[in-house]
A and B are shown apart, each in its own frame.
Chain A
Amino acid sequence: MQIAHYKRVLKQGLLTLAGLVLAATLTMAQTIKIGAPLPLTGPLSPEGIKQKNGYDLWAEQANIKGINVGGKRHKVEIVYYDYQSKTPRAVQLAEKLITSDKVNFLFSPFGSGATKAASGVSEKYQIPTIAATASSEAVYNQGYKYLFGTFTPNITLTSPLAKIVKSKSLGTNRVAILARNDFFPLAIANVAKKSVADEGFDVVFFEKYAIGTLDHASALTQIRAKKPAWIFATGYVNDLILIRKQMAELGVKAPVLTMIAGPAYKEFVEATGKNAENVSSAAWWHPAVRYKGNDVFGTTENYNRLFKAKFGGIPDYTQASSSASGVILQMAIEKAGTLDTKKVRDAIAALNTETFYGPIRFGANGQVVSLKPPIFQIQNGTQIVIYPKEIKQADMKMGVK
């Protein structure tokens, strides 16, 4: 009798306890985990840190209210790993994030090369992956279903630029192209070659330089001898700083100097000083664009303000694109109302929406098609938009010294 009573009390107690634990688990917000392998050290660390800043800013804003998954508010947590600017390590870490950290979604590593390398892993495990810094079409034309990118194809940068330069009177049609022998820089150089040829320019010099080149004097001397009207140099920020400096040292001048991708960063202007003047470039986003969105940031102005408050500067396209990756994922999850990877994947593919970053709609290959990348020029030490005309701040100026 007595024993049976105790048993009953114990049973009830245990049941209550179990119920309490269950209730606590249910009310406690579940966390959405996103994996992000980044080059936080090594040669690409300036770019990797920019990407991290962009993700962090989005996560912070998203966590104020939480992400709405079928009526429940979820917190988001980004799991970072440093791949030390070594692409094979990025691929390993992407796999580790999926298999051992059990992330729900993935943000790609930096640049077209590493993104392409890691995309095989996320495709294998069917993890929806957003690439914030990959533009080359070869990344998206692999027939993968789970990879989405926020940069439009390279030709969307070079083609309008070639049209603008064509409209100026240059005296000659000669173009010299100097490209870093690397995935994206070479891809965009090849596309530029096509775009300028389409406008009737004559490519008189096309050379590649090895990754890690310290001295460009020989190539620049050859360019000078060709007397081009337009010099088009590709690489990452360090290469372009070096090339610009050595151009000045060797007295290489031209009416138009375009460099991709570096002049968008404040580091470029700081390091090259007055030599930065009139250098033109193009990027996928610019803080001067003005978009109204349905995302956590709302407007571009608000994004710029929040970025400045957190990091004390003006955001560039790498940071904005990284924040936009988060925004895209959040909008797709909220639309799908579930964390099921297949359904979220379909929701991303079907997105047709406005964000602070611009209108978002993906092509069949997963690359965004709805953006109009701005072209800009450094005038008086700041990046001034010269295209498209809706946000144009000034006309393109000729001449670099």
Chain B
Amino acid sequence: MLTVQILINGLLLGGLYACIAAGFSLVWGVLNIINILHGSFIVLGSYIAYFAYIYLGIHPFLMAPFAGLALFGLGYLLQRGIINYVVTAPVLVTLTLTFGLDLLLNNGMLQAFTADYRKVNLTHPLGNWFVGDIVVPLDRLAAMLLSLLFVLVLWWVLRTFRIGRAIVAVRMDREAAALMGVKVAQIYAVTFGIGAVMAGTAGSLLSVIFPISPLASIAYLGKAFVVCVLGGLGSIPGVIIGGFALGIIESFGALYFGSEHALTVSFVLLIVLLVVRPTGIMGRKGYE
């Protein structure tokens, strides 16, 4: 019984992790940018959902696409206006730049919202679903399913739409894509924007589960990192599998080794994977 419950906990967590990591993986895979801003984008999405709920009464689940849309504007402008100037530079340059931008955004949020932890307290929580001795928290289940839905929508967009194919094309071979008439700078900005969309929606969904504070951004960023490496870079199925893998590993790690070692277990597995399969579970270098 305990095992089943732990498995359910892990799956619920895993879906959320997938959503946290999807945008990060896309930006890393396509632009070769390790976007340190990602964690703060998620937190900003949570704040948008929080204030929309407090002042307008809009449920964070409904707010998620709009929070994503707002973040798209910010992401697009940041890439177009700043990051694009160094986008072809070595990865360390873009990493440093996004790190600097993250300091600005994160400290800006600290100024605006303070470091106080806020929480969306739903007036009508969905409650729990009991199956014998097993508990399924329904708000978490809903957040997880919506997370997966958004990730699948992203996958669908990448596979079917013209813009999606262009993004994949740029990822596979930037020069060839440019020769085929793809406006690479435009695609970069859109991709960065989409990464921010995923962060915004994830933040909005997470606002009902985790406390909201600018200080949470680093934890989200860490999860995104691990999921990407576990699942493989820039691959949407990889993100989903990586997310579930991390959620389940953490849950069972806590059961067998104690809560304090849950993180250790996931990082040890990460190192093992980096050694034996550096492309991740689903990763194939350079391909979607």
Residues of A that sit less than 8 Å from B by CB: 41-43, 45-46, 178, 181, 207-210, 212-219, 221-222, 224-225, 237-238, 241-242, 245, 249-251, 267, 271-273
Contact = CB atoms under 8 A, between A and B. Distances in A.
A47 B260 CA distance: 24
B130 A218 contact: no
B115 A42 contact: yes
Given A209-B259, A242-B211, A249-B139, A217 B251 contact: yes
A255 B261 CA distance: 29
A267 B116 contact: yes
Contact of A215 (B116, B130, B213, B250): B250
Given A249-B128, A251-B130, 19 more contacts: A45-B114, A45-B115, A208-B260, A210-B259, A212-B219, A214-B223, A215-B13, A216-B259, A217-B12, A217-B251, A218-B10, A222-B2, A245-B209, A245-B211, A249-B137, A249-B140, A251-B135, A251-B137, A267-B116
B121 A273 contact: yes
A221 B117 contact: no
Residue of B115, B216, B264 contacting most chain A CB atoms (<10 Å): B115
Interface string B247-259: 0001111110011
B215 interface: yes
A222 B256 CA distance: 11
B287 interface: no
B61 to A, nearest CB: 16
B262 A213 contact: yes
B79 interface: no
A344 to B, nearest CB: 34
Contact of A43 (B107, B210, B215, B254): B215
A218 B115 contact: no
A46 B260 contact: no
Nearest to B212: A271
B263 interface: yes
Contact of A178 (B6, B121, B137, B259): B259
B116 to A, nearest CB: 6
B5 interface: yes
A210 B262 contact: yes
Interface in B200-246: 209-211, 213, 215-216, 218-219, 223
A218 B254 contact: yes
Contact of A218 (B110, B116, B137, B259): B259
Nearest first, the 8 closest Cβ-Cβ pairs linking A and B are: A218-B254, A249-B137, A217-B9, A208-B260, A45-B115, A209-B259, A271-B119, A219-B259
Contact of B13 (A209, A217, A241, A250): A217
Contacts of A210: 259-264
Nearest to A250: B135
A221 B116 CA distance: 28
B4 to A, nearest CB: 10
22 contacts: A41-B107, A41-B115, A45-B110, A45-B114, A46-B115, A46-B116, A46-B117, A181-B260, A207-B258, A207-B259, A208-B259, A209-B259, A210-B262, A212-B218, A213-B262, A214-B219, A215-B13, A218-B255, A219-B254, A221-B6, A238-B213, A249-B209
A22 to B, nearest CB: 46
Contact of B2 (A221, A250, A272): A221
A49 B121 CA distance: 25
Nearest to A244: B119
B45 to A, nearest CB: 16
Given A45-B115, A217-B13, A218-B254, A209 B260 contact: yes
A400 to B, nearest CB: 15
A271 B211 contact: yes
Contacts of B264: 210
B6 A218 contact: yes
Contacts of A217: 9, 12-13, 251
Contact of A207 (B135, B137, B251, B260): B260
Contacts of B215: 42-43, 45, 238
Contact of B210 (A46, A209, A242, A267): A242
A225 B9 contact: no
B22 to A, nearest CB: 18
Interface in B9-50: 9-10, 12-13
Contacts of B110: 41, 45
Contacts of B130: 251
Contacts of A221: 2, 5-6, 9
Contacts of B135: 224, 250-251
Contacts of B6: 218, 221
A237 B118 CA distance: 11
Contacts of B114: 45
A210 B119 CA distance: 21
A236 to B, nearest CB: 10
Contacts of B261: 210
Nearest to A225: B2
Contacts of B223: 214
Given A214-B210, A251-B130, A245 B119 contact: yes
Contacts of B12: 217
B56 to A, nearest CB: 19
Contacts of B258: 207-208
A212 B210 CA distance: 12
Contacts of B216: 214
Nearest to A273: B121
Nearest to A245: B119
A318 to B, nearest CB: 14
B12 to A, nearest CB: 8
Contacts of A209: 259-260, 262
Nearest to A252: B135
B193 to A, nearest CB: 26
A237 B108 CA distance: 23
Nearest to B251: A218
A65 B12 CA distance: 61
A232 to B, nearest CB: 15
A206 B131 CA distance: 27
A218 B210 contact: no
Contacts of A181: 260
B262 A238 contact: no
A101 B12 CA distance: 53
